[in-house]
Amino acid sequence: MGGYEHTLWTLFLPVISFVLLGLFGRKYFSKSAGLIGVFLLLLTTALSLYTAYQYFFVNGLVDGIYQKIDAFKFTWLTFSPGVSIDMGIMLDPISVMMLVVVSSVSLMVHIFSLGYMKGEERFATYYSFLGLFTFAMLGLVVSSNLFQMYMFWELVGISSYLLIGFHFQRPSAVAASKKAFIVTRFADLGFLIGILMLAFYGGSLDFNTIIQHLSAQQSSAYLAATTASFLGVTALTWGLTLVFMGGAGKSAMFPLHVWLPDAMEGPTPVSALIHAATMVVAGVYLVARLFPLYALNGASLEIVLNVGLFTALFAAIIACTQTDIKRVLAYSTMSQIGFMMFALGVSGTQGEQGLGYTASMFHLFTHAFFKSLLFLGAGAVIHFVHSNEMKDMGGLRKWMPLTHLAFLIACLAIAGIPPFAGFFSKEEILLATYNKSIWVYAIALITSGLTAFYMFRLYFSIFWRKEYNGHSHPHEGTMSMKIPLIILAVCSALVGLIPFGKFVSVGNQPLETHFHLMFSILPIIIGVAGILIALLMYKKENDRPQNMAQAFGNFYRAAKNRFYMDELYLFVTKNIIFKWVGRPSAWFDRKVVDGSMDEIANLTLETSKAIKGLQSGKVQRYAMYFFGGIAFLIILFVYILK
């Protein structure tokens, strides 16, 4: 099917931005880099939107099913006949949806950064990194096979590393970027092994082929994958779980989440783009991409469900206690991604049962808008207050009315108050969990209440609580900072009204989502209750928060210290791995491996020193040696060995 060749340009325009600004930016475009980046991204976004329009409304739907379209494909590396790594662009509902999300959020961040990063010394470098990231993320979502996805996955990781460590003069930024890279890299190890296992049993790297081979229950590939087992778990489950491990690393799922809060060291617009809206949902996207396999394999889907659910609750609890506003947002992001994960975990493959899948993608979609709005709003605040701490803020609503309004809309959206975007997607998730299990539903409900509470705690702490009495004079930013806030606020308010099920569903068949009014009452009440509690505690300065903290005692302290996860990791790495694995092997390497090599070298050196004298360059001495040799041979052969 033709007509989609232009999607290639959506990938290449950011690359142009990256190369142009990366190579020549600092010299020639140090001022205009931002405009160039924005312009190219504008084209990319326009193309993405056009693609989405064409796909969803013109010719994507054939016989009631959204087709998978290979817009572009070529064989890149052939290992053996039939096994090759392809490069391609595959369009299906979720990839087209992600195309729109990534490019539009990236555009907003590009525009916002015009004001936010102004006067930065490495302004052009920053934009070139943004271009690289956008390229990598777009490449990831349109990948037609696992290996291509893995490559873009790593590319996303490296651009995230570069952007977190953008202010490399700060030791904390360097440490954070290293941490993010190492943790995700560790997870990617699992991902790679998983890819290889799936490719081995599926006989291909191509998504469609793998799914086809492994989901037909009578096929030999499926039988091979389910009969081979390791530690009592079938190969297919291992493969899928390991792939999920990669996804969990990127999406900051417990216990691989430790890097995300630290990643907030990056410039705030970067956090909005990478660590809120796009890269961190790559794990969700990955699971969704392989969803037919997960759905067939109960054990691995169970893992997805439980990890998602636990992370959602765990992160929400921590978010209630943090005082750094970006960290609150980071934990909130983790919690929301947990929502998406467990929504996938409760989903089935057919019709109404597939609601979880649709809900997850829907939440991903709406979350991208309101969370990037929250981050950009927080960025605007931080930009003018010069602090991340809540205690330095308060009463800002008078100084920054537009930011205040946008932030409020985003908070309402994430808290699930109708008619804002988050309400609809969260409703669908809750409905899907309710159909599956009452316990999951209960936990999800508690978490969404907590969400409302901590978001409004944040909101009141920033904009109300007390009169602003800081040293700097906060004010609204430039036009370039306002526009993205306005656009995203409008989106956050309205995208929930899109009948999402008609576009994205598990079988790619349009799904009619019903809206149950009675069902929605409880979540709304809980959300409003969360908001009210936050209002009581944080609207005005009072000692209720302290009382509350005391009431919870140790639990509060543990949550405030993020349940000591960082300390646990440090303990494991320093005291166990470094001490018992690293040091002995370093010793072994130094003493035994290097030592033997050194000894061989020394031996050679000593020998050469010893026999160097023989090669004196003196002809007569050689003649004597020669004569001695012959005399020896004569004695040996004529007299001794006669």
Partner 1 sequence: MTAHQIIFYCLAALILITGLLSVTCPKVFRSAIFLLFSLIGIAGLYFWMEAEFIAAVQISVYVGGIVVIIIFSIFLTEQAGKETRSIHPVRTVFAVLAALLGMILTYLTVLNYDFVESNEAFDLNIPRIGNAMVATGEGGFSLPFEVVSILLLAAMIGCIVVAMRSSITKPDEKKLTQSITEIDEA
Partner 2 sequence: MIPVSHILILSATLFFIGMYGFVTRKNLITMLMSLELMLNSVNINFVAFNKYLYPGKLDGIFFTIFIIAVAAAEAAVAISIIINLYRTHKTIDVGAATELKH
Residues that bind partner 2 (CB under 8 A): 617-620, 623-624, 627
In whole angstroms, what is the distance from residue 102 CA to residue 456 CA? Answer: 27
For the CB of residue 622, give the shortest distance to partner 2 in the complex, in Å: 10
For the CB of residue 638, give the shortest distance to partner 1 in the complex, in Å: 6
Q: Which is nearer to partner 2, 618 or 642 (by Cβ)?
A: 618
Q: Which is nearer to partner 1, 2 or 617 (by Cβ)?
A: 617
| 638 interacts with, out of partner 2, partner 1, none, CB within 5 to 8 A per kind | partner 1
Helices (H), 165-250: 171-202, 207-215, 220-227, 235-250
| 217 interacts with, out of partner 1, partner 2, none, CB within 5 to 8 A per kind | none
In whole angstroms, what is the distance from residue 585 CA to residue 154 CA? Answer: 28
In whole angstroms, what is the distance from residue 335 CA to residue 337 CA? Answer: 5
Q: Which is nearer to partner 2, 220 or 615 (by Cβ)?
A: 615
For the CB of residue 30, give the shortest distance to partner 2 in the complex, in Å: 56
Greatest Cα pair distance, the chain, in angstroms, is 117
| 617 interacts with, out of partner 1, partner 2, none, CB within 5 to 8 A per kind | partner 2
Q: Which is nearer to partner 2, 584 or 628 (by Cβ)?
A: 628
Q: Which is nearer to partner 2, 230 or 627 (by Cβ)?
A: 627
Torsion sign (Cα): 28, 33, 35, 40 = positive
Q: Which is nearer to partner 2, 419 or 628 (by Cβ)?
A: 628
- Look at residues 631, 607, 630, 599 and name the one whose alpha carbon lies nearest to residue 615: 607
Q: Which is nearer to partner 2, 217 or 620 (by Cβ)?
A: 620
Sole window of 367-375, 398-406, 597-605, 629-637 interacting with partner 1 (rule: CB under 8 A): 629-637
Q: Which is nearer to partner 2, 571 or 622 (by Cβ)?
A: 622
For the CB of residue 626, give the shortest distance to partner 1 in the complex, in Å: 11
In whole angstroms, what is the distance from residue 272 CA to residue 382 CA? Answer: 13
| 618 interacts with, out of partner 1, partner 2, none, CB within 5 to 8 A per kind | partner 2
DSSP 558-573: HHHTGGGHHHHHHIII
User: SS3 sequence, 253-264?
Assistant: CCCCCCHHHHHH
Cis check for the bond before 484: say yes or no (omega within 30 of 0): no
Binding flags for partner 1, 15-54, as an x/- string (CB under 8 A): ----------------------------------------
Sole window of 26-34, 382-390, 598-606, 631-639 interacting with partner 1 (rule: CB under 8 A): 631-639
Q: Encoding tokens for residue 511?
A: 């799904």
DSSP 574-606: IIIIIIIIIHHHHHIIIIIIIHHHHHHHHHHHH
- Look at residues 408, 391, 382 and name the one whose alpha carbon lies nearest to residue 465: 391
For the CB of residue 625, give the shortest distance to partner 1 in the complex, in Å: 11
| 635 interacts with, out of partner 1, partner 2, none, CB within 5 to 8 A per kind | partner 1
- Using the rule CB under 8 A, which residue among 58, 638, 640, 641 binds partner 1? 638
Q: Applying CB under 8 A, does 635 fall inside the site for partner 1?
A: yes
Q: Applying CB under 8 A, does 628 fall inside the site for partner 1?
A: yes
CB 55 within 8 A of CB 17: no
For the CB of residue 184, give the shortest distance to partner 2 in the complex, in Å: 57
How many residues can be counted in the chain?
642
| 628 interacts with, out of partner 2, partner 1, none, CB within 5 to 8 A per kind | partner 1
| 619 interacts with, out of partner 1, partner 2, none, CB within 5 to 8 A per kind | partner 2
In whole angstroms, what is the distance from residue 417 CA to residue 420 CA? Answer: 6
For the CB of residue 633, give the shortest distance to partner 2 in the complex, in Å: 16
For the CB of residue 199, give the shortest distance to partner 1 in the complex, in Å: 55
H/E stretch holding 608 reads: helix 595-611
Residues 586-625 that bind partner 1 (CB under 8 A): 624
For the CB of residue 634, give the shortest distance to partner 1 in the complex, in Å: 6
For the CB of residue 639, give the shortest distance to partner 1 in the complex, in Å: 8
Question: CB neighbours of 154 closer than 8 A, spacing ≥ 6?
Answer: 188
In whole angstroms, what is the distance from residue 27 CA to residue 15 CA? Answer: 19
Sole window of 170-178, 297-305, 446-454, 630-638 interacting with partner 1 (rule: CB under 8 A): 630-638
Reduced to 3 states (helix: H, G, I; strand: E, B; else coil), residue 124 is: helix
Q: Applying CB under 8 A, does 640 fall inside the site for partner 1?
A: no
Phi first, then psi: give them for residue 76, nearest 5 degrees.
-100, -55
For the CB of residue 638, give the shortest distance to partner 2 in the complex, in Å: 14
Q: Phi/psi class of residue 583: alpha, beta or left (left: φ > 0; alpha: ψ in -120 to 50)? A: alpha
Q: Applying CB under 8 A, does 634 fall inside the site for partner 1?
A: yes
Angle at 216 between CA 210 and CA 222, to 5 degrees: 70
CB 44 within 8 A of CB 7: no
Residue type, 495: V
> How many CB atoms sit inside 10 A of residue 449's CB?
22
Q: Which residues bind partner 1 (CB under 8 A)?
A: 624, 627-628, 631, 634-635, 638
